[in-house]
Amino acid sequence: MQIEKLVVIKIGGNIVDDKNALSDFLSTFATLAKSREDTALILVHGGGKIATKIGNQLGIESKYVDGRRITDDATIDLVTMVYGGLANKQIVAQLQANGCNALGLTGADANIMLANKRPVKSDANGNPLDYGWVGDVQQKGVNSEILYTLIQAGITPVLAPLTHDGKGHILNTNADTIAQETAKALSEKFEVHLIYSFEKPGVLLDAEDDSTVIDILQPAYYASLKAEQKIFAGMIPKLDNAFAALNNGVAKVIIGKAEKLPLLLSGESGTSIIL
Amino acid sequence: MQIEKLVVIKIGGNIVDDKNALSDFLSTFATLAKSREDTALILVHGGGKIATKIGNQLGIESKYVDGRRITDDATIDLVTMVYGGLANKQIVAQLQANGCNALGLTGADANIMLANKRPVKSDANGNPLDYGWVGDVQQKGVNSEILYTLIQAGITPVLAPLTHDGKGHILNTNADTIAQETAKALSEKFEVHLIYSFEKPGVLLDAEDDSTVIDILQPAYYASLKAEQKIFAGMIPKLDNAFAALNNGVAKVIIGKAEKLPLLLSGESGTSIIL
């Protein structure tokens, strides 16, 4: 059957870190991957705390500025090992064991995602701020042709949060961004849904109350919630990204709990973000 | 142009460990990959001492029996990180920088190489000998269809020395074996040459004298050299494997120095092993 739909699913580091939760998730994911012949899946995974733990053992200090990891020479080697090797291949092997024909990729593999090393900027005090080996995905940086070829060959791509600069360097790139750029680029070829899974059941009206999930979020409602300051601060960049994806061809963005994956796909759980 | 020929090239850990030698090799490899439209290349890389070094820093003891690494739980995670992540992705990123469309793979990715965990055996004293998470490639364990699809899409596969058991576990597998099994399986689809590069200029008549390279080795000559005990002990399994590959469809096996790669391909350096 012709594949017409694609769902890009991002899981956070909290699931990658929890062996049992990850195993349950991958079993469900594989079942979904096999169930609908007209729909393909792509999995994007975050890194998790295992990189910090292994880094500590190796004497690699984790440095952060404004909550963002500074990726120095030792750290890019660390995350290349842990995200591109350990996490990615364990996920691939488990999906294979569940009958899903997964293939793990970084942005360097088959040149699927080209990024620019983030330029050194000035911080609020005028001091240089260098994020190190961090990549911002280039305009038209996603090689959707080879992803399309793999999908048509029955492959389920599993993307690590790593890109490359085309000059021989791996770059550290946020998994939300990898998911969004992949979804946008492939929306030329498929009807694409983008699922961000995280620890909450969706976008909440009251950040303290998990029963206040907003079912459907459209631009006007989002604007009014922002004006009333009802949207949790950390959620704003996620939602801005979601609307950016919708404005670039993605049909629907869903935010919710990874444990509810089948219900997120069917629209029965989480927050559906649409134009 | 139709791709009719395939060269599977194995490089050892000594090159993977040496940044300058690796960089030179990959530049040459990329030039060769781009030069002949009727010939595809596959690169198979060993692990190198970096795994041992990082393992030492992580407090993972390297254990060997008869020169073979015992792959316990901590060690399989280590080699999955280092072989499948760090080494593989650095090679891929550098090949991409040289214009070669490389894609890194373990045996788990797209199920390209299924192996059986090596059974526990008895050692010479009757004690149990457990190699741990070591894989022996299954009969018909190579998924040549997806490798064929990738090659036809212009991709150069880069294989790490890791397989999987189809039950969710990554397995540690000798890079020579990965190269041989890949070459054998793809000989149904291409005329395949298999190059083993190592630190010597070829198979030597006198192991102490690098000027005594045997240009062409055929079965009768090999048998006579073995009878005269002129073949260096460690070379015998390598050559037995080479003849096994030839008996399973591979057209030619070449053994020589990685630094001479273009001359190994053209038959002007190294030892050519043929039937």
**Closest residue by Cα to residue B82 from B64, B121, B56:** B56
- State both tokens at A52: 């910090």
Does the pLDDT of residue A93 top 90, yes or no? yes
- Does A128 or A154 have the greater pLDDT score? A154
Domain parsing of chain B, residue ranges = 5-273
Give the span between the Cα atoms of A203 and B159, in whole angstroms.
42
Residues in chain A, overall count: 275
| Interface contact B86, partner A, CB < 8 A | yes
- With residue B95 as reference, give the H or E element that holds it: helix B88-97
Chain B hits for A85, CB-CB cut-off 8 Å, are: 80-86, 88-89
Asked if this assembly's ipTM is beyond 0.90, the reply is yes
**Alpha-carbon distance A22 to B256, whole Å?**
45
B88 touches chain A (CB under 8 A): yes
> Measured between CB atoms, does B138 come within 8 Å of chain A?
no
Alpha helices in B36-174 (DSSP H): 50-57, 73-81, 88-97, 144-152
Mean of pLDDT values over B160-188: 97
Q: Is A234 annotated in some ligand binding site?
A: no
pLDDT over threshold 90, residue B49: no
DSSP state at residue A42: E
CATH of A5-273, one of 2.30.110.10, 1.10.3720.10, 3.40.1160.10, 3.40.630.10: 3.40.1160.10
Amino acid present at B267: G
Average pLDDT over residues A6-23: 92
Query: Could you tell me which residues come within 8 angstroms of residue A264 by beta carbon, excluding any fewer than 6 positions away?
Result: A195, A197, A254, A256, A257, A270
DSSP annotation string for B180-209: HHHHHHHTTTSEEEEEEEESSSS-BSSTT-
CB contact under 8 A, A111 and B90: no
pLDDT band at residue A23 using 50, 70 and 90 as cut-offs: very high
The Cα–Cα gap between A146 and A143 comes to 6
pLDDT at B158 over 90: yes
- DSSP category for residue B120: P
Q: Which residue of A has its CA nearest to B85?
A: A85
Among the partner-chain residues A77, A109, A155, the one whose CB lies closest to the CB of B92 is A109
Return the structure tokens found at B111.
């199920």
Band of pLDDT at residue A12, cut at 50, 70 and 90? confident
Report pLDDT for B47: 83
Question: What's the CA gap between A152 and A161, in Å, rounded?
Answer: 23
Q: Which residue has the higher pLDDT, B49 or A79?
A: A79
Structure tokens at A238: 């996620």
Q: Give A93's contacts in chain B (Cβ within 8 Å).
A: 108, 164, 168-170
Give the residue on A whose Cα is nearest the Cα of B100.
Answer: A110
What integer is the mean pLDDT of A178-205?
Answer: 95
Residue B112 tokens, joined: 């390209």
Find the residue in B nearest to A152 (Cα): B149
Which residues of chain B make contact with A77, given a CB cutoff of 8 A? Answer: 86
CA gap A152, B212 in Å, rounded: 51
pLDDT at residue B37 greater than cutoff 80 = yes
Which pLDDT value is given to residue B21? 93
Q: Would you place residue B210 in the very low, low, confident or very high pLDDT band (cuts 50, 70, 90)?
A: very high
Quick one: which H or E segment has residue A253?
Answer: strand A252-257
Q: Backbone dihedral region of B195: left (phi > 0), alpha (psi from -120 to 50 degrees) or beta?
A: beta
pLDDT for residue A139: 93
Residue B221 region by backbone torsions, left for phi larger than 0, else alpha for psi between -120 and 50, else beta: alpha
Average pLDDT over residues B214-243: 89
**Pair B155, B147: CB distance under 8 Å:** no
Residues B218, B203 contacting (CB under 8 angstroms): no
Which tens digit of pLDDT belongs to each residue from A261-274?
A: 999 999 899 999 99
Which residue shows structure tokens 């409602």? A221
Bigger pLDDT: B128 or A149? A149
* Interval B218-231: pLDDT, tens: 999 999 999 988 88
Q: Are B166 and A54 a contacting pair at CB < 8 A?
A: no
Q: CA torsion sign, B198 to B204 to B210 to B212?
A: negative
The predicted pLDDT at position A224 comes to 94
User: What's chain B's average pLDDT?
Assistant: 93
Test mutation, A111, A138, A156, A171, chain B, max B CBs within 10 A = A111
A85 appears as a binding residue in the annotation:
no
Answer whether B94 sits within 8 Å of A146, measured CB to CB: no
- Residue A66: per-residue pLDDT: 72
**Contact at 8 Å (CB) between B110 and A101?**
yes
The pLDDT tens digits of the residues spanning B131-146 come to: 999 999 999 999 999 9
A146 to chain B: which residues are within 8 Å by CB? 153, 155
- Candidates A53, A90, A109, partner chain B, best to mutate (most B CBs within 10 A): A109
Cα nearest neighbour of A26 on chain B: B168
Q: In the predicted model, is pLDDT for residue A196 greater than 90?
A: yes
- The pLDDT of residue B48: 78
Angle between helices B235-246 and B219-227 (to 10 degrees): 160
- d(CA A261, CA A197) in angstroms, rounded, equals 8
Confidence of residue B115 (pLDDT cuts 50, 70, 90): very high
Helices (H), B127-174: 144-152
Burial readout A220-251 (b: 16 or more C-beta within 10 A, e: otherwise): eebeebeeeeebbeebeebbebbbebbeebbb
Taking only the tens place, the pLDDT of each residue in A30-84 is 999 999 889 999 999 988 788 989 999 899 988 887 767 789 999 999 999 999 9
Determine whether B199 is exposed, middle or buried from the number of CB atoms within 10 Å of its CB (0-12, 13-18, 19+): exposed
Angle at A28 between CA A24 and CA A33, to 5 degrees: 145
Q: How far is CA A245 from the centre of its chain?
A: 13
Contacts of B162 in chain A (CB under 8 A): 89
Average pLDDT over residues A87-111: 98
With a cut of 80, say whether residue B77 has pLDDT above it: yes
Residues in chain A within 8 Å Cβ distance of B77: 86
Q: Look at residue B101 and tell me whether its pLDDT is greater than 80.
A: yes
Helix A235-246 vs helix A175-186: crossing angle, to nearest 10: 10
Q: Between chains, do A146 and B166 touch, taking CB under 8 Å as contact? A: no
Neighbours of B8 (CB within 10 A): 29
Per-residue pLDDT band at A129 (split at 50, 70, 90): confident
Candidates A169, A115, A174, A108; CA nearest to A141 is A115
Whether the per-residue pLDDT at B235 is higher than 90: the answer is no
CB contact under 8 A, B149 and A146: no
Give pLDDT, residue B199: 85
Residue type present at position A226: K
| Contact at CB, A80 and B97, closer than 8 angstroms | no
Mean pLDDT of chain A: 93
CB contact under 8 A, B80 and A85: yes
**CA distance to partner chain B, nearest, from residue A88 (Å):** 9
Q: Quick one: what percent of chain B has pLDDT higher than 90? A: 77
Q: Which residue of A has its CA nearest to B101?
A: A110
Cα atoms in the 13 Å half-sphere on the side-chain side of B272: 14
Comparing A36 with B54, the larger pLDDT belongs to: B54
Residues A213 and A202 sit within 8 Å (Cβ to Cβ) = yes
Average the pLDDT over each of A31-35, B116-120, B235-239 and give the range with the smallest value: B235-239
> Smallest Cα–Cα separation from A163: which of A99, A105, A218?
A105
Out of B85, B101, B111, whose CB is closest to A86? B85
Q: Which residues contact A223 (CB under 8 A, 6 or more apart)?
A: none
Q: What is the mean pLDDT of residues B102-112?
A: 98
Residue B128 touches chain A, beta carbons under 8 Å: no
**The two three-digit tokens of residue B157, written as one number:** 């596969």
Q: CB B26: neighbour CB atoms within 10 A? A: 27
Residue A91 pLDDT = 98
